[in-house]
Amino acid sequence: MSNIKEPVTRDTLLKTVNTFPIIDNHAHNLLNSSASLSCPLEVCFSEARGEALQKSIETSALKRGVRQLAKLYNCEATLESVKCVTDAISYEELCRTCFDPTGIQCLLLDDGLDSLDGLRDVESHVGLVECAKRIVRIEKIAEQTISDLVISFKNSGNENLELKSFQDPFKNQLETLARSDLVVSFKSIAAYRTGLNINCDIDYNLVVRSLAKFILECVGSDGEKPKVVETRLVDKILIDYILNLAIEVAVKYDIPIQLHTGFGDNDLDLLTSNPLHLRKLIEKYPTAKIILLHSSYPYTRQAGYLASVYSNVYVDIGLVFPMISATGQETNLFELLEICPTNKILFSTDGHYLPESFYVATIQVREALGKVLLKAVENEDFTIEEAIKIAKQIMFENSNELYKLNLNPKIISNQEYIGSSARISNLALKELKHKGVKYVRLGWVDFTNMLRFRAVPIDRFIQKTVSSGITLAKCLNTLPVYGDVLVKETDFGPSGEMFMKPDLNTIVHLPYLPAHAFVHISFENKVTPDDVSYPSSSESSPYPVCLRSCLKNIVELARKEFGIDFLVGIESEFLLLRGGNANHQPYQPNAVDNTVYCAAAAYRDFSTIQTIEQILDALQDQNIELEQFHPESAPGQFEIITSPDNPLAAADKVVITRQTIYDVAAKNLLKATFIPKPFRDKEIDQSKKIYDDHHSKLSRKESFFVAGILSHLKAIAALTLPTISSYERAVIGSWTGKWISWGIENRETPIRACYLPREGTKGEMDVNFEIKCVDATANPYLALAAILCAGIDGIRKEMELKMHYCNDDPEYLSPETRAKLGITEQLPDSLADSLAELKKDEDLIKSIGNDIIKNYIALKEGELKFFKNLSKDKIYEILLERF
């Protein structure tokens, strides 16, 4: 198969921004475990201290940061709830939880920030990241040198001072550090001490006098001979002198020097931290590599200007993430990109003390960078290709080159963060228990699309089930829709068990049942002495007839073999029926209303709108994003559309969506049903047919994908239209698509191509495909697996899409016109016919898995045999009760 180069799109840009690794070119050491206990979380979001820090809870920066941490910890979005979670776990676990999702590959740490005791050393950060290097704060080295000099003077009684008694040891120490493999840069905080209007014409006589005065003040007159002297340089003459000297050493050893510029805490004069004050210094040392830290905020344009006119000036964008608002961050980046060369912009977190500061800064810069670069592309400042290059430069490449790190970027993948996800999920479990959850439902969707679960007390779940799972008889995944009996034609009888292993990434609190949580499971083999692998292996392995694992494997195959990722959106259509079950009578189709499509009258019944609102609220409480909802065409019918996600997540979410709709409706004494075509005499108004005249602009892979689905559609129907009632809906005029065809915005073709303007571009369009011959009685994992397998088969074989798109209802075209379009076949008329087509489709069977399809066919044929002697009303009664 030939390699097909995928077009570079806005999605490619966003994927780069979110998966490319980061070199954090300026941060500070984490605190050790005990020291972290005395550090308030608020310091991550504000430069304020003391009482002013307490007021920072009302800033947009802190409020936004708390929401982002709450999402990470899966807790309520309040400062108190976030702190409750962090208090419940070990500090090391907290550090891993925060660092793993960031994609930070390397940390450059200024270890001179010592306002709190108990900093971890630089090397101890390795493990959280691939590598960690040191940034040397020159004022710290100077103060230590002076401290040693003070002790020497006090012990010797010598009152004569020569400049070299300070200069030589200070310079020697800097040179030793510059030669160290651990050190990659110097740094100065002159802006904090005396401002950036640095004197470049050093008067050494003044330096000696200032040094002597400072030493004498430190020596004092008490006669005591100290071993340690605390000093803090605030003398402008000395600060300017040591900065000039440090730059000379940096130039000699070709290492950069970072300068604090712009905002900081109240120890700084903001007026004198404007980087424009540095022009004389920059010009004096044209070969010095000078990094202006913190975007020089609020002097960002000035910093960008300096970097644009001086070859040796670079700009770091740290500290504004996460210290200012999202709007401010985006504005800051826009201002920098107005004039600053993109190969001179460096990312940093300015993370300090607590791991949360690193996490929040990193996710915020990815978010802001994506938005800003997309807007720049839209404004035609850059092409998409250029924007992708810029993202890589800012996040990784510029720092890698400037600091000579020689690192190879390690792209972030989902697999790298399984450990992180597990730790985050453990936090979620503790938070769920704190919220009052007593029981966890371990749920799966069986072959007939029935949701089943087993419940476990939450303490047992945390202590045992998370690691070991629970056992289940294999036959319980292939029970027929009409009852809990074994279908002998399947492979599963009374013997044999499998493990139910919870996927902690999917655990949710059920808001309408506060004592319950729900988690999706995957099945794994349970090894026994009868297995061929025993005793060489007693470990569990993936279960070949696990439908959830099947879908997951297909998605991974598409990504690895073709570099394709899918987004799946699912529309949930359901009916609300009245009719009590107090006397245990079966529900009758007594709809809550008799309205039509999108009719406002559907919301005039208080009990109905109350139920709908409770459903919508509960879905959002379970982190299911809603796009829209509306009344549908049938009496009492509604549709909820949830946002697209990757196929596995989309299937998981639709299971939660349906469970929520069933349960909330029941709490309101209503019956929710997803059964297709519940009112057999109801037809769609033919005036609703849509005739659009677009031109198809499918890429090669998209056309292969559509061709693959069309070629397998008759067999797919056995899995997407899996009940007898499915075929009462899949008829002419019902917008499910009876003729095997595809169209653009055509609701009477089984495959509907839908176009939308592409964000961040002018005139370009995105396409998605709606598969209409699917109903809610289908198992979502199996239905999606079939559709994706068919499409992937088309890509693998490079199937030519010979069929032309159809913008009319194929039923009303002449046979000659249909033939010209390539429309020659209809979907099967019954489940039996669909199963017969599935049996013949060897490629689809092989792709999904022979064991799965073999047992599915046996199960469905067993159901058809059972239903054969029942009336339509009795069949409908069973299906209505189940779905």
Q: What is the pLDDT of residues 35-48, one digit of tens each?
A: 777 888 888 888 87
3-state SS class at 477: helix
Q: Where are the alpha helices (DSSP H) in 49-118?
A: 51-55, 60-73, 79-88, 91-99
Say what the pLDDT of residue 459 is: 87
More confident residue, 727 or 845: 845
Of 843 and 879, the one with more pLDDT = 843
Question: Does the structure show a pLDDT above 80 at 68?
Answer: yes
User: What mean pLDDT do residues 280-296 have?
Assistant: 97
Q: Where does the pLDDT of residue 736 fall: very low under 50, low under 70, confident under 90, or very high at 90 and above? A: low
Does residue 563 carry a pLDDT above 80? no
Is the predicted pLDDT of residue 122 greater than 70, yes or no? yes
Report the C-alpha gap between 822 and 837 in whole angstroms: 20
pLDDT surpasses 80 at 229 = no
pLDDT at 11 over 80: no
105: Cα separation from own chain's centroid = 18
- Predicted confidence (pLDDT) per residue in 634-683, tens digit: 788 888 888 888 888 889 998 999 999 999 988 988 888 887 765 544 43
Residue 608 in this model has a pLDDT that exceeds 80: yes
Q: Of 332, 395, 403, give the one whose Cα is nearest residue 109.
A: 403
- Reply yes or no on whether the pLDDT at 609 is more than 60: yes
- Burial of 882: CB neighbours in 10 Å, binned 0-12, 13-18, 19+: middle
* Burial status of residue 37 (CB atoms within 10 A of its CB: 0-12, 13-18, 19 or more): exposed
Percent of the chain surpassing pLDDT 70: 88
pLDDT at 218: 78
Q: How does the average pLDDT of the chain come out, rounded?
A: 83
Task: Give the span between the Cα atoms of 835 and 159, in whole angstroms.
Answer: 102
Calculate what percentage of the chain has a pLDDT beyond 90.
34
| Residue 690 pLDDT | 28
Specify burial of residue 34 (Cβ count, 10 A radius: 0-12, 13-18, 19+): exposed
Which pLDDT belongs to residue 3? 34
124-162 pLDDT per residue, tens: 999 999 999 999 999 999 999 998 888 877 766 666 778
Q: Residue with structure tokens 């450990």?
A: 419
H helix or E strand, kind and range, residue 785:
helix 780-797
Which ranges of 278-346 does DSSP label H, i.e. alpha helix?
279-284, 300-309, 320-323, 326-337
Q: Is the dihedral of CA 510, 513, 515, 521 positive or negative?
A: negative
* CA atoms of 563 and 693, how far apart (whole Å): 32
Q: What's the CA gap between 629 and 759, in Å, rounded? A: 23
CA pair distance 294, 315, nearest whole angstrom: 8
Amino acid at residue number 218 = C
pLDDT for 859: 83
* Euclidean distance between CA atoms 232 and 142, whole angstroms: 9
What pLDDT shows up at residue 806?
75
Q: Per-residue pLDDT for 225 more than 90?
A: no
Cis peptide leading into 535, omega within 30 of 0?
Answer: yes
Chain segment 427-481, per-residue pLDDT in tens? 567 777 777 889 999 998 888 888 889 999 988 888 888 888 888 888 888 888 7
What's the rounded Cα separation, in Å, for the pair 856 and 850? 10
Among 670, 688, 184, which Cα is nearest to 402's? 184
Q: Which pair of structure tokens corresponds to residue 643?
A: 């946002």
> What distance in Å separates the CA atoms of residue 616 and residue 98, rounded to the nearest whole number?
31
- Residue 535's pLDDT band (cuts 50, 70, 90): very low
19 or 690: which leads in pLDDT: 19
- Which one is predicted more confidently, 206 or 421? 206
Q: Name the least confident of 373-387, 560-574, 762-776.
A: 762-776
DSSP 560: H
pLDDT at 428: 65
Q: What is the pLDDT of residue 578?
A: 85
535 CB-contact burial (10 Å; exposed 0-12 / middle 13-18 / buried 19+): exposed
